[in-house]
Structure 1
């Protein structure tokens, strides 16, 4: 497993142990995964269902089961698998409809934010640098929708490199979820903005930091964390567009925009998202069919209205 997966499983298992500890149920001398009993899980499940969404409840139990099996592969956790299946049947994912925008909207607003920051005269240099950085993040992720863990960890000279005057995102197989390399040349549309960020605004953000990270915090000049990048992107899109678009929704936007504007290239969306199986793209990301249907209906209604007039 990749370190980020192991860390996530450890954190989720830790939440379970913390619940038991605060409830006076934790057996500190028990065997590995010995605290994972039907009684303890039932109490944990009751607490989760009162506090978090059905999707988070399912994810918590799913990851508790995976962690438990890793800790003690000889124990029988089929009872926990059954609970997990029941939760999967009743979970209700939050609708993406209120957070869905197309890629061109994200790119346009990213470019607009950078232009506004570049011409602003009523805010500090640090504030301008922060806005320019955020605009560049939005536009870059929209055009190159890699996974957030890779986007947040871009480092100049390592996986973000200049080759013969062109900037490239170069991810090794060990860095991607699919365990295969992913190489993307930065779109020409972003080249001038990137050069301005690197030559001017990044230095303002860096302060005294000597980090090679592409995205630097405006607070201390240190590399932005995964959470900080996610938060900045969501807050920036909320301010600029009126919709807080999560980094994951950038991938939905890319797949749907590819289908809407390049329907003749059926595998474009899969390539953009680095998926081996196009069905994964269709199932989880593509909202183009509903958009196309809505557009067709609008055209029909417009024609009918004109005929009535």
Structure 2
């Protein structure tokens, strides 16, 4: 770890690079964690990898050694030439295909061909990114391997204590936590613990697009008061267009106990709730 950390520190010093932690810039400098990310991603030699927030290319280099192509999406324009320099200095003897895009990943159209996402993402974009790739994009990744905040990782993977992100991910795939990552694995260290998760996307979502839209509308109502019983959040809720005007009627029709809390509902129960509301 110290060797890679020293390399990154020296690289930043050479190019007078000051990291912007407001953009979530914390470079991973632990080789063992890099190896675990790459192993979890199950990268094949013909894969197209999308990396979000590559920084100077520490993970990018690892991806390019295994995949056919890497598309790296970076918001900070300073990083693009530095990433290319860092990658070239390590892979100069190897042929590789790197496409660098200077753009906000939340506004970027995802590839239309098959692709996988592997990234150490800025933690504050975890929720909007997952919504972007699953709910807004016309093409979904085969898998996602992400280094994110531990608290969020635990919530995504804990279907018994669900949050809105848990539901989004469960509609499209199965999430598994790979490993926890301490702050000392980064330069500079973040103030929170981190974790690597891997999401295997299903060939098709477990509900049709219209049902998914209804699930998201109803789940947002439910999780608006996540610590309270469903009768509190649904009791006076303004429901989306459907069979029922009253939220308590809808809960009853879907055979869901109004004294339950939203985090106890499975994704299948949210789907049942959505279908009860739109059923003819």
TM-score range (shorter-chain normalised) is: under 0.3
Give the number of the structure whose alpha-carbon radius of gyration is greater: 1
TM-score where L is the length of structure 1: 0.22
TM-score where L is the length of structure 2: 0.23
- Higher fraction of strand: 2
